[in-house]
Every structure is written in C-alpha cells, then in structure tokens.
Amino acid sequence: MKKSTYKWILITGLFLLAGCEDYYVPEIEPQPDALVVEGILTDRNEHARIKLSRSAGFNDRSFFSSVQKATVSIESEQGESWPTGEISKGLYETLSPVSTRTGESYFLKIRLSDGTEYRSESEIMLPPSPIDSIYLTNSLFKDVYLNYWGEPEVKNFTGITFSVKPRRSPGTDPGFLYQWNALLNYYVYSTELGTDFPYYCWKQLSSKLIYVYDYGQDDRIVELPLGDLHFLSYYTLSPEPIDTSWFEGTIVAAYSTGFYYHLTQYAITSKGARFWRSVRNQTEASGKLFDPIEEQIIGNIYCVSDSTKVAFGYFNTASLSDRVIRVTMKREPFTDYGTIDIMPTAPSLHECLLYEKTEFWF
C-alpha cells in the first residue's frame, strides 16, 4: 500500500507541475559593449567575411552596433596572412580569396581602433564529408485558420519531412551544420467570362533554424531531421495564403507541381558544433518550465591585450559538401525525386507569370 501511495503522490505532483507552468526570467549578468565576432572560413577558395559588433544589455532594445575601423586578418599556423578591408559598417572581407588546405589550422586576429587586440583559437580545416542521401517522408502539419465566418478551425496541411544521415571521414571527429534552400513551383488557374488565365509561379524558401549534428552527442541518431516543407493546397500556399491580387478572374485551382531542394553541409570541429548546439538551445528556449536549461555559451574569441575584456562569438573553419534534388509533386505530397547537378537560379524570390513557363518550372 505504501508503494502505491508514493506512486500516486508522484503522479499528482507531475500534474500539478504541468498545471502551474510559468515563465522563468533568468538573472543574467550584463556584459554591455563586449565585442561580438561572427565569421566562417570555408574550403571553397573564396573571399571570407568577418562581422564585428558590440553586445547590448539583455533588457535593451535590439539594435546592431557595428565596430568600424578595425584591422582584421585571417592567419594560418604556417605564417600565411590574409588581410581584410571594411566593405560596410562592421563587415570585413579578405582582399583576396583564401586558399585553405585540409589539416591546416587557421585563426583570426583583430585590432580595434583603440589598440585593443583580440584573436581566436586555432581551428583545423577538416576534410569534407559527402552527403550520401537526403531522405524524404510524408508529413502532416496542423494549423489554425479562420473560416468563412471568421471562426478558428484546425486544418491539416500535407508536406514533406527532410532528413540526412551524416557520415564522417575516416580518422576525424567532426560536427556538422546544415543549411537548406528550396525553389517551389506552383500552378494557379483562374477564369473570367470564358477566358482562362493559367499562371506559372515560383517561391524561394530557406532554412530559418540551426541544424547541428555532433558525433560526441548524436552518434546514435539514425537520421537528423532538417525540418518540413508544406505545400500548396486549394487557395493556400500552406500555411501562408496566396495573394489573390496577383491573378485575374476567379481562382479555380491552385496546387504545387514540384520543387528543387539544395542542402549544404558544413563539416566543422566538434568544439564548434558544441558552440552552435548551445546557440540553438538558447534560441529555442521560450522561458517555460521544461525548456532546455540556460547554459553559458563559450566561444573561441579572447582579448590578448586585456584579459578582463569579454568577447562573444566563434570563428569557424568548415569544409562544404552539398546536394541538390528535384522532387515531382502530384496527388500525394511527392511521387518521385532524383539528384541533379546545379540548383536553378530564379530571377526573384516570388513571382507568377501568365501563360509563360520559366526554364526551371516543371
């Protein structure tokens, strides 16, 4: 009987916790005016960019305070140097493309206009890891919308969930960052007084979340989910509505026909992956009881000339791999897909053409 009583006390306590869910505002030690560094060096033999700014107080209004007139360079452990120029407020770009080598270590040097010096820890350029496959599965997304009478209703939107199984190169212990962008094709048919209006449309979408994979924590994950895309149903580019002002006449049909999906994989160090995992956890926290625990985000930037000065950010090295697929849509969320060589380039983010198909429309 005593064990049973304890069991019910525990269950009752859990229900009370769920019913008393509240927001938690952490006590944060302010670090105003600290240097914030954003930068990544890839293996693509391209110009690298570094962004410098200043931190603001937690309760201050969000704004960007750029750090100008700094001297910034990327260095290698072998003594090579790539100086930068300030191309806009707080944004620095190397004067020439940075040619990197696998297995070589690189770091960042910063000297501010007041003479304060910063640098990053050295980061090794890992070998690229190929993307073997992108996995697609049907998914269902529920959203609340207002019906004809202005009443809220729950509606199902069909779509596709994407995932990938990372594969590390032999002898390495990397982490991975992922970024995707998509080019969606959809068809809108309208009519008025016996005249038909077929519209061929496209819309560009991109990832808004940080997707991180760390072999130190995630080696048991079979596949890493990369988010969902949900597609056109009648009168809606779900879950976003169609702007009907683009079309003549009365819309009779609207549906997606296919899309292109471009996945980019960044092979970074395991320490870099832990940094981005912490950033992701913080951005996903909403202040509720069962949110991820607040943690200190440790970067790899430090002040050389004054150890009391605080800096935030991370200088990453990254080897890139990418993959592009083309997916055909019919009655189901998707019917077939295959790999293609190059992601098509659309002339704008979102557009519709009357009677006219673009080269990438299918």
Q: Say what percent of the chain tops pLDDT 70.
A: 81
Residue 146 domain flag: yes
Same domain for 90 and 161, yes or no, is no
Its pTM stands at 0.81
Same domain for 305 and 325, yes or no, is no
Average pLDDT over residues 321-334: 85
pLDDT at residue 8 greater than cutoff 50: no
Same domain for 242 and 302, yes or no, is no
Residue 99 domain flag: yes
Nearest to 317 by CA among 83, 103, 110, 123: 123
CATH number reported for the structural domain that contains residue 90 in this entry: 2.60.40
Nearest to 78 by CA among 58, 102, 56, 106: 106
Same domain for 166 and 200, yes or no, is yes
Same domain for 344 and 292, yes or no, is no
Query: Count of domains in the chain?
Result: 2
CA trace torsion 74, 78, 79, 85 (10° rounding)? -20
217-237 pLDDT per residue, tens: 777 787 888 888 877 665 566
Q: What is the pLDDT of residue 157?
A: 74
Residue 362 domain flag: no
Residue 24 domain flag: no
Same domain for 177 and 312, yes or no, is no
What residues have CB less than 8 Å from 284, skipping those under 6 apart?
291, 292
Residue 225 domain flag: yes
Q: What is the pLDDT of residue 332?
A: 67
Same domain for 165 and 250, yes or no, is yes
CA trace torsion 309, 313, 315, 317 (10° rounding)? 150
55-98 pLDDT per residue, tens: 865 555 555 689 999 999 999 999 999 999 999 999 999 999 99
Q: How confident is the model at residue 13 (pLDDT cuts 50, 70, 90)?
A: very low
Residue 21 domain flag: no
Residue 15 domain flag: no
Domain span at residue 116 reads 35-128+272-318
Same domain for 233 and 185, yes or no, is yes
Q: How confident is the model at residue 246 (pLDDT cuts 50, 70, 90)?
A: confident
